[in-house]
Structure 1
Amino acid sequence: MNFASDNWAGASSKVSAALAAMGQGFSPAYGADEHSNRVKNWFSEIFECETRVFFVATGTAANSLSLAAMAKPGGLVLCHAHSHIQMDECGAPEFLSGGQKLLPIPGAHGKLSADAVGAVLDRYDPANVHGGRPVGLSLTQASEAGTIYALDDIRALSAEAHKRGLKVHMDGARFANALATLNVSPADMTWRQGVDVLSFGGTKNGCWCAEAIVFFDLDLAEGFEFVRKRSGQLFSKSAFVAAQFEAYFEHGHWLDNAVHANQSATRLAQAIETSGGARLVHPVEANEIFAIWPKGLTAHLKAAGANFYLWEAPDALPGEGPGADEDMVRLVTSFATRPSDVARFMDALNQYRA
């Protein structure tokens, strides 16, 4: 019962087959192969606009280099206080942007509001050099709390940023999960709402190692090939990344994977919520579940073979935080989550109640 992370899951059978096939023969290096060119064109088709696409190895690289593209001396990037770039990227966004500073903002259930962003921006006078200057806003879709921004929310946040001259970045490590929940087009969830650059994640949703930076604002991509090379993120065997994306996109495989992960999370969440001894911390809108339950239940589930993470309660928990005899936990489902594992977990919950 593996619910620790969607990074624990391997590659899907279709992606694995594509990688194996790519291992035969030869392809031009550094993105000059036909597979890389085909995938880059495919991104433009999927997003219904001209894009510039750059493959990178990790989500941290995708986020950090996206923010580096909008960097200016004294630059500040606004983000959620519990965003991945703020909490889990070891200073890479600052390092790779030449010292650009992150400006964390709190928000319920992992999401920012346009009002909160506007209130922070009101404190900065463009003529005052001492405090730095806001240059970007980063949103996470789906959020680190497993929640999802509605299209109106993305539009309002982007409008607040753009009217102040900021660029908008979307961390889409779980982009497909959010898209599957909203049931809208990729274009509707990004550039049509004002997103300028997207970190497009494939690794958590069935790829082995496939992340992409997708520019909708083409001016931001000017000279970016040098930024990527300087950071050590230019694949010599780029065709192997492209092959993953080919399998990922073909016949909607990426969305099928996300739907399965989301549905598995919904089943788990319903079981947890009705168990009587546990409560959900955030709405379950994608493939992450955050819950608070007795420490005894943690031990019971671990003994039954369940893998999940104990989680540090955020500073501003929307509801009541964990008590002395309780744990806060995170469970994550994936494309590889087996219905039998969900059923076993539910049985273990019922056994604890009994």
Structure 2
Amino acid sequence: MYFASDNSGPVHPQVMAKLAEANQGYQMAYGADTMMNEVRDRIRSIFEAPGAAVYLVATGTAANSLALATLSNPWETIFCSPVAHIHEDECNAPEFFTGAKLTLVPGGDKMAPDALRGSILGEETRGVHGPQRGPVSITQVTERGSVYSLEELQALCGVAKEYGLPVHLDGARFSNALVALNCSPADMTWKAGVDAVSFGGTKNGLMGVEAVVFFDESKAWEFELRRKRGAHLFSKHRYLSAQMAAYLEDDLWLKLARQANANCARLADGLRAKGAEFLHEPQANMIFAAFSRAKHKQLHEAGAIYHLWGAELEGGDDDESLACRLVCDWSIGTAEIDQFLSLL
């Protein structure tokens, strides 16, 4: 009953097999391996972007930070949600790599176009003395498990384009959002107005690799330099390539995301039937729900692993409702989900 994070699940066996295959013999280093050529072509095909620049890094923080650094200047500010991963969970890495600051767009989980416009208009008001307007960064799936619709993405990108600002999409859970919307990768990115995307794999069955895709290939060389300077260019790059190759082969990335989302839907339906309150409507593979402290204690004592959200398990009234976060990955079994619900 492990619902702490989709980061915590196992690597899919097909990925391990591809790594073993890649481990045979010799390959050129630093991304010149033959498998990377296949990955690059496949990602370009998936995104319907034959001229896209495609790169691999080992972590989501590196993907986001290096992509944003390539899209911004040190004297600019990056616009994002107050709960964006780049703000709350990356230890100022985006600021470190970009030299820019972050401007938090007022609101909740999702940015709204009017709020974004207001934040953009609030900058470049002090001439040389203040920060200049920089990229807009959107998280899809959001940190609260919500999914922007295509119309919402288009509206936010539209606001950014009014002011000539590039748009970055943090897609750590890109696949989960895609299958939730039942759309194409192109629809959710460049057709909506996105300039660069962090295409995640680690949260969806990979050992540790993320792709960075620029739809403007003029950004390619700068990203390569920043990746090397930032110590994120792998020497034995073939082991990143192998993971991504397995991920894309026979649409494994979509199959795993569908399974994770289906697991989440099963859990959400069971929670709803048992009277749990939802802080956000589950749309992908993450749930924020609340139920009594007594039930949380019972679940933890039975071995369930998940995070309480802004609350402590011990102390307080057993009848008090406490919020929690539950994340489903591809590998969690229905028996474990049903056991959790039975205990609840």
1:190 aligned residue:
189
1:53 aligned residue:
54
Residue 224 (structure 2) pairs with residue 229 (structure 1):
no
1:66 aligned residue:
67
Q: Alignment length, in residue pairs?
A: 338
Residue 337 (structure 2) pairs with residue 342 (structure 1):
yes
Letter aligned with residue 303 of structure 1: E
Residue 328 (structure 2) pairs with residue 333 (structure 1):
yes
Provide structure 2 residue ranges, at least 5 long, that are not aligned to the other structure. 312-316
When structure 1 is superposed on structure 2, of 15-24 and 30-39 the one drifting more is 15-24
Residue 170 (structure 2) pairs with residue 171 (structure 1):
yes
When structure 1 is superposed on structure 2, of 66-75 and 182-191 the one drifting more is 66-75
Q: Distance in 1 between matches of 2:125 and 2:17?
A: 53
Question: 1:130, CA displacement in angstroms?
Answer: 2.3
Q: Distance in 1 between matches of 2:128 and 2:154?
A: 29
Question: 1:104, CA displacement in angstroms?
Answer: 1.0
Q: Distance in 1 between matches of 2:175 and 2:288?
A: 20
2:243 aligned residue:
244
1:318 aligned residue:
none
Residue 4 (structure 2) pairs with residue 9 (structure 1):
no
Q: Distance in 1 between matches of 2:210 and 2:268?
A: 28
Q: Residue 223 of structure 1 aligns to a residue in which SS?
A: helix
Question: 1:339, CA displacement in angstroms?
Answer: 1.1
Letter aligned with residue 190 of structure 1: T
When structure 1 is superposed on structure 2, of 99-108 and 59-68 the one drifting more is 99-108
TM-score, normalised to structure 1, is 0.92
Question: 1:326, CA displacement in angstroms?
Answer: 2.6
Question: 1:106, CA displacement in angstroms?
Answer: 3.2
Letter aligned with residue 23 of structure 1: N
Question: 1:27, CA displacement in angstroms?
Answer: 1.0
Residue 138 (structure 2) pairs with residue 139 (structure 1):
yes
Q: Of 260, 285, 288, which aligns to 2:283?
A: 285
Q: Does the 8 A contact of 1:35 with 1:242 survive in 2?
A: yes
Question: 1:197, CA displacement in angstroms?
Answer: 0.4
Q: Deviations over 1:21-59 (max 9, x none)?
A: 212211111111110111011111110012101111100
Q: Residue 7 of structure 2 aligns to a residue in which SS?
A: coil
Q: Does the 8 A contact of 1:269 with 1:280 survive in 2?
A: no
2:97 aligned residue:
96
Q: Deviations over 1:3-27 (max 9, x none)?
A: 0000100110111111122122111
Question: 1:220, CA displacement in angstroms?
Answer: 2.7
Q: Distance in 2 between matches of 1:80 and 1:268?
A: 27
What's the RMSD between the two structures over aligned residues? 1.6
Question: 1:267, CA displacement in angstroms?
Answer: 1.0
Question: 1:289, CA displacement in angstroms?
Answer: 0.4
Question: 1:291, CA displacement in angstroms?
Answer: 0.9
2:314 aligned residue:
none
Q: Distance in 2 between matches of 1:270 and 1:2?
A: 18
Q: Distance in 2 between matches of 1:73 and 1:12?
A: 39
1:319 aligned residue:
none
Q: Residue 53 of structure 1 aligns to a residue in which SS?
A: strand
TM-score, normalised to structure 2, is 0.95
Q: Residue 6 of structure 2 aligns to a residue in which SS?
A: coil
Q: 1:323/1:45 Cα in 2 relative to 1: closer, same or farther (>3 Å)? A: farther
Residue 306 (structure 2) pairs with residue 308 (structure 1):
yes
Q: Does the 8 A contact of 2:290 with 2:323 survive in 1?
A: yes
Q: 1:252/1:122 Cα in 2 relative to 1: closer, same or farther (>3 Å)? A: same
